[in-house]
Amino acid sequence: MPTTALEPEKILKDLRNLWIDLGRENDLAGGVLRACGMTLVVAAEADMDMDALRHTLGVLMHTHPARAIVLRFHDSAGMQANVFSQCWMPFGKHQQICAEGIEIRAGRNELDDVAQLLLPLLAPDLPAVLWCRGPRVFWGDGFKPLHPLVEKIIVDSSTASDPYGALEAITSLRKQGRLVGDLSWTKLTGLRELIASLFDEGAAKGIRNVEVRYGGDMPTASALYCATWIRRSLSVPVTLKHTHEGPPGLRAIQLSGEHDVLLTRPDRTTMEVHCGERVRKSTMLLLSEETLMSEELSILGPDAAFDKVIA
Amino acid sequence: MLKPVDSQNPFADPLRFDRRVPDCALVIFGANGDLTKRKLLPALYRLAYERRLPDSFAIVGNSRTEMTDEAFRQKMYESVKQFLEDSPFDEDLWNTFVRNIYYVSGDLNDPKLYTELKTKLDALARPNVLYYLSTQPSYYGPVIEALGAAGLGRSTDRGWQRVVIEKPFGHDLDSARALNARVHSVFPEEQVYRIDHYLGKETVQNITAFRFGNGIFEPLWNRRYVNYIQITAAESIGVEGRGAYYQEAGALRDMIQNHLLQVMATVAMEPPAAFEQDQMRDERAKLLRSVKIMKPDEVSFHAVAGQYRGFREEKGVDANSQTNTFAAATFFVDNWRWAGVPFYIRSGKKMPKRTTDIAIQFNSAPHALFSSDDGRAPRPNLLILRIQPEEGISLRFLSKYPGSGMRLRPVSMDFNYGSSFGERSPSAYETLLLDAMVGDATLYTRQDMVEASWKVVTPILENWTERSFDFPNYDPGSWGPAESDAMLARNGHKWRNA
């Protein structure tokens, strides 16, 4: 679609025309179903790979159809916008589902103008979520003018150079009453579920203390989250310990109690649980950005477990 | 993502953790039948695809046909490939999934079968076992008793034993009671899962969400604002080779006694105090017990039977069959909320289209300021809960037609599942099988619900058994016999044949 001057009414008109065109193109093939359950505002750097982001959005739309508003910030001044659609044919169906999108390019010092422009572009009366994609977008520049416009802010603290500072920033945001999601926390869901299942099965009984081991120079945000989560769930001492084995990140968890249980990650796809002589292997893949985002977008209200960790 | 792994578990995170299926085996009796091929195996495969089943999950199929494990696996492979809906088939996943599929042949009346089954289950060493009765209904009692005799029905400290029973649960009130007694001689009620797949449909579950999750509808959900309610389950196909079975059942038994009365209970029940299985089922049961039982002389006034032209020529159908392929009834609920509001329920085969929906017709505005653009009195608001095929909700209301003057025209406000939630909802069998394995019976029917719904239809069944109908009385492709329209017309109402 052609570039549009930045008047919200004109962008919305372009969106309407986009749907008219889509309807015409698909008229003979059963038409299109316009899907929109929320607004997803993606704040990203101008040099970000737009194809990769489009792919992520394309996959996300299948489970969370949304009006996507992609904000790309660059160093020079000047705002531009264009509209686009993401369509897919559900497996075994005959009608395409399409979601709409708006891409806005703006200078870094035009954030206030962007916030003003954004308000009329949000899908009315539906939830709005801000996804700060990329390290500078959230941690460096402080996108505060956008925060009041959305119900939830999603960040990825693994992109921050200082994980302690990142967690502090998230805690502070939460204390201001904002709902926050952190993909570093989302990455832990599989591991947390595994630990919960050990408790259910009785393998992790009478735990007295826990050691969370990490590789790299300092603990990652995920390692910090994991340690805090265990400490606050069990009220037992939890130690963070550096290990030279393996790459940076969360490497192992030792639960010491009636039986000692050791969870290790021998490679990128497996989790091993050592309980006495027994070793159990579980597949634990590194999740894609769209999988992590999909989980976060399915929670648009308070998240008690995460709140407990960042409190 | 609904239930905690364990509410006592300090690590529980019900918002994010999937409900965990424990190590278990599923034993399917009637594994060579249509239900297993078309519904159960595709649903189980899909659960495996979604990683909802443990790696150790095992299936043991049984039927009379002699077959090796390998032959059974091949059959199931073909079935899943053919009947998997809305999902791609993944060969690699199947190769993992199929390793734990086994087969034990044997006659359901032969005690040896249960000894062999016990040997197989002992060898598999799964602590929990779910038995699924997908056999002819006449086998339900004998199979359950045989399981008990073989020591296979008792839950222990090591694990649970549960049984899923397909409909029909009895063919009348007495037989349902007798079957319940036989079932309870082996399995206590909390281990019994009577399946009604309508309750597993996302759209039927959404009725509860729609009513009790929103503040604006429930205040209107009563006799003061609702004029009448219609529930329609229409099929465009006929009996499709199931003539022999269908001849014994008929639309009243096959659809209304179970599925549609359960849907009606979900639409009309009181709000439960909590979204918990017993509280939900208590309210549905209470509603079914409140349905006014027709007196014998009321049946011809409040119920209509039909049979489509050509049914008697179907394979396996008696040339003088009196079976109803269409049934419609007017029910009233004797409680404060619904007193005097008719619930019209109909189900039929060979109707103009396949559709299941619930239409709630509200009262007209108390004072008519406007007329509609066709000069008639404005049409009242109508709320439609569409169960299938276009799952969604619509609200009809009046709007001013653009231009000078004040002409009103009905318009529709639509919610479509696809437009808000993307592409796929789990099938009813995925939901219900998972529920049975995690021990959640909310969407299963309880003994008292089954018996209450049989009581509701008993006067109609008795009346229709004694009568001789002048069948066939409706054409394929029509909305049933004229008497069905007349039944509503007597109250000044019309079927919504949209």
Q: For position B269, what pLDDT does the model report?
A: 97
Which residues, other chains included, contact B222 with Cβ-Cβ below 8 Å and sequence gap of 6+? Answer: B337, B338
Q: State yes or no: is B259 an active-site residue.
A: yes
Q: Which of chain B's residues have a Cβ under 8 Å away from the Cβ of A228?
A: none
pLDDT for the residue B493: 95
Give the position of tokens 């939901």.
B431
B6 touching chain A per CB within 8 A: yes
Separation between Cα atoms, residue B194 and residue B204, nearest integer Å: 17
Q: Who has greater pLDDT, A27 or B313?
A: B313
Question: Which 8-state DSSP code applies to residue A285?
Answer: P
pLDDT at A4: 44
* Location of structure tokens 């199979």: B143
User: Per residue in B345-390, pLDDT tens?
Assistant: 999 999 999 999 999 999 988 887 776 666 667 788 999 999 988 7
Q: What is the 3-state secondary structure (H, E, C) of chain B?
A: CCCCCCCCCCCCCCCCCCCCCCCEEEEEECCCCHHHHHHHHHHHHHHHHCCCCCCCCEEEEEECCCCCHHHHHHHHHHHHHHHCCCCCCCHHHHHHHHHHEEEEECCCCCHHHHHHHHHHHHHHCCCEEEEEECCCHHHHHHHHHHHHHCCCCCCECCECEEEEECCCCCCCHHHHHHHHHHHHCCCCHHHEEECCHHHHCHHHHHHHHHHHHCCCCHHHCCCCCEEEEEEEEECCCCCCCCHHHHHHHHHHHHHHHHHHHHHHHHHHCCCCCCCCHHHHHHHHHHHHHHECCCCHHHHHHHEEEECECCHHHCCCCCCCCCCCCEEEEEECECCCCCCCCCEEEEEECCCCCCEEEEEEEECCCCCCCCCECCCCCCCCCEEEEEEECCCEEEEEEEEECCCCCCCEEEEEEEEEHHHHHCCCCCCHHHHHHHHHHHCCCCCCECHHHHHHHHHHHHHHHHHHHHCCCCCCCECCCCCCCHHHHHHHHCCCCCCCCC
Distance (Å) from the alpha carbon of A78 to chain B's nearest alpha carbon: 34
Q: What pLDDT was estimated at residue A276?
A: 82
Average the pLDDT over A150-162 and give the result: 90
Over residues B139-152, the pLDDT tens digits come to: 999 999 999 999 99
Question: For residue B232, what are the β-bridge partners?
Answer: B346, B357
Confidence of residue A96 (pLDDT cuts 50, 70, 90): confident
Digit-coded pLDDT (tens) for A8-43 = 999 999 999 998 888 888 766 667 888 888 999 999
pLDDT for res A191: 93
pLDDT for position B227: 97
Residue B426: the pLDDT is: 87
Q: Do B423 and A90 touch (CB under 8 A)?
A: yes
The mean of the pLDDT values for chain B is 91
Handedness of CA B148, B151, B152, B155 (dihedral sign): positive
Q: Which of B6, B7, B15, B390 to mutate to test the interface with A (most CBs of A within 10 A)?
A: B15
Tokens matching residue B73: 């696996």
> Tell me, what's the pLDDT at A56?
92
| Helix/strand/coil percentages in chain A, nearest 5 | 40, 30, 30
pLDDT > 90: percent of chain A: 48
**A297 pLDDT tier (thresholds 50, 70, 90):** very high
Please say if the pLDDT value at position B6 is more than 50: no
Q: Evaluate if residue A176 carries a pLDDT over 70.
A: yes
Minimal-distance CA residue of chain B relative to A226: B11
A2 pLDDT exceeds 50?
A: no
With contact defined as beta carbons under 8 Å apart, do A83 and A55 qualify? Answer: no
- Among A33, A196, A229, whose Cβ lies nearest the Cβ of B416? A33
Report the residue of chain A nearest B158, measured CA to CA. A201
Question: CB of B373 within 8 A of CB of B404?
Answer: no
Judged against a pLDDT cut of 90, whether residue B209 lies above it is answered with yes
Which listed residue (B171, B184, B197, B259) is catalytic?
A: B259
pLDDT of residue A234: 92
pLDDT of residue B3: 39
Residue with the bigger pLDDT between B179 and A87: it is B179
Average pLDDT over residues A230-239: 94
Statement: residue A79 has pLDDT above 60: yes
pLDDT value for B498: 67
Nearest Cα residue to A236 out of B227, B401, B10: B10
Global ipTM: 0.86
For A92, the closest of B1, B15, B86 (CB atoms) is B86
Q: What is the pLDDT of residue A279?
A: 86
Domain A8-183 belongs in CATH node 3.40.50: yes
Place B475 in a pLDDT band, splitting at 50, 70 and 90. Answer: very high
Q: Which residue of B has its CA nearest to A292?
A: B16
Average pLDDT of chain A to the nearest whole number? 87
Which of A16-30, A169-183, B258-272, B433-447 shows the lowest mean pLDDT across its residues? A16-30
